[in-house]
């Protein structure tokens, strides 16, 4: 990753207590779930679907909004994670040990991420997006929806720090899984998660903790984290950058399009939506292509 010249002075991070302009992000249409899906022309297992609906309901989620074929591929990993040989045994295990529900849900939704994942995306943010924003912004508001363990939001924090834009910016990460939010707050990552971090940035923004790498305190206390379901609960804000990567691929087309449309409206003009490689903002009428995975609101 081509790096900006490093600044010798790192300013203390101070985030505003509230975002100045707050606009709701209603997802009303998502309350109408599609009919139970079919996978490859084969009827869905009633037992499997009932288990997924039950498990997702424990986190306030509606399994019918998600592509069952994607969840079905992850179901064996979910069962292995809680040492169950069948969905019936899995439900009994989770009913007896509710603390395992979040681990089971995490296995289904994967949540795989790392620092500067897909380097060209972050190069575009650094070289095109941040310079454009800094010309007319005193503070930059960033929301990572479905933030998992926080690696991508922390990656943005590093870019902001390198561009001397971090001190007045506002960073928020949300995820429906409480265990993911707790992990993000801790800010401790294994070597695989930081493999794409340049050595100088690794030394500057991380503290070695045994075999793990811990975010430096200034970045760690700067970001805010909330347990929230982007599909069900409005997220207030009017954002310059929204990270929404590799989450829509789990959704059926109708709820996915409705969500993109609402995210479009929650961006400030000139703001950008960052998606995964296989995602397109279908339904978002104000977004134009800026670079692979990056879409800018034009009005």
Q: Render pLDDT for 155-187 as a digit per residue (tens, 0 to 9).
A: 999 999 999 999 889 999 999 888 899 999 999
Q: Are 232 and 60 in contact (CB under 8 A)?
A: yes
Angle at 276 between CA 203 and CA 139, to 5 degrees: 60
Least confident of 48-52, 197-201, 290-294: 48-52
Reading the block at residue 96, the tokens are 């007896």
For residue 230, name the pLDDT band (cuts at 50, 70, 90). confident
Of 50 and 9, the structure prediction assigns the larger pLDDT to 50
Whether the pLDDT of residue 108 is over 50: the answer is yes
CA distance 193 to 283: 33
Q: What is the mean pLDDT of residues 184-197?
A: 96
Angle at 52 between CA 39 and CA 251, to 5 degrees: 60
CA distance 244 to 195: 22
Whether the pLDDT of residue 27 is over 60: the answer is no
Phi-psi region of 165 (alpha: psi -120 to 50; beta: other; left: phi over 0): alpha
Whether the pLDDT of residue 94 is over 90: the answer is yes
For residue 31, name the pLDDT band (cuts at 50, 70, 90). very low
Domain ranges of the chain: 44-109, 119-297
Whether the pLDDT of residue 188 is over 70: the answer is yes
For residue 215, name the pLDDT band (cuts at 50, 70, 90). very high
Whether the pLDDT of residue 125 is over 90: the answer is yes
| CB count in 10 Å sphere of residue 132 | 15
Distance of CA 26 to the CA centre of its chain: 18
Of 135 and 150, the structure prediction assigns the larger pLDDT to 150
CA distance 285 to 257: 11
Q: What is the mean pLDDT of residues 220-227?
A: 92
Whether the pLDDT of residue 39 is over 70: the answer is no
Q: Residue 243, CB half-sphere, CA atoms under 13 Å: how many?
A: 26
Partners of 295 in beta bridges: 273, 289
Place of tokens 């010249």: 5
Of 31 and 93, the structure prediction assigns the larger pLDDT to 93
Task: Quote the mean pLDDT of the chain.
Answer: 83
> Is the CATH number of domain 119-297 3.40.50.150?
yes
Percent of the chain with pLDDT over 70: 83
């Amino acid at each position: 990753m081509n790096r900006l010249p490093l600044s010798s002075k790192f300013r203390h991070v101070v985030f505003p207590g509230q975002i100045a302009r707050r606009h709701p992000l209603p997802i009303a249409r998502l309350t109408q779930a599609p009919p139970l899906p079919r996978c490859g022309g084969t009827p869905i297992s009633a037992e499997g679907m009932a288990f997924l609906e039950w498990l997702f309901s424990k986190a306030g989620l509606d399994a019918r909004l998600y592509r069952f074929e994607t969840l079905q591929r992850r179901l064996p990993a979910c069962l292995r994670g809680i040492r169950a040989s069948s969905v019936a045994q899995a439900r009994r295990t989770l009913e007896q040990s509710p603390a395992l529900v979040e681990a089971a849900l995490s296995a289904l939704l994967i949540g795989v991420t790392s620092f500067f994942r897909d380097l060209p995306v972050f190069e575009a943010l650094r070289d095109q997006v941040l310079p454009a924003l800094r010309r007319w912004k005193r503070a930059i508001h960033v929301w990572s929806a479905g933030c998992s363990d926080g690696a991508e939001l922390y990656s943005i924090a590093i870019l902001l720090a390198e561009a001397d834009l971090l001190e007045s910016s506002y960073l928020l990460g949300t995820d429906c899984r409480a265990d993911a939010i707790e992990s993000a707050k801790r800010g401790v990552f294994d070597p695989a998660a930081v493999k794409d971090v340049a050595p100088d940035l690794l030394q500057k923004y991380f503290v070695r903790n045994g075999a793990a790498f811990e975010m430096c305190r200034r970045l760690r206390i700067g970001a805010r984290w909330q347990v929230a379901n982007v599909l069900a609960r409005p997220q207030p804000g009017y954002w310059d950058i929204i990270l929404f990567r590799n989450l829509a691929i789990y959704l059926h087309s109708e709820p996915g399009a409705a969500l993109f449309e609402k995210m479009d409206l929650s961006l400030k003009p000139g703001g950008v939506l960052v998606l995964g490689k296989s995602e397109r903002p279908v339904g978002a009428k104000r977004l134009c292509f800026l670079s692979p995975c990056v879409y800018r609101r034009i009005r």
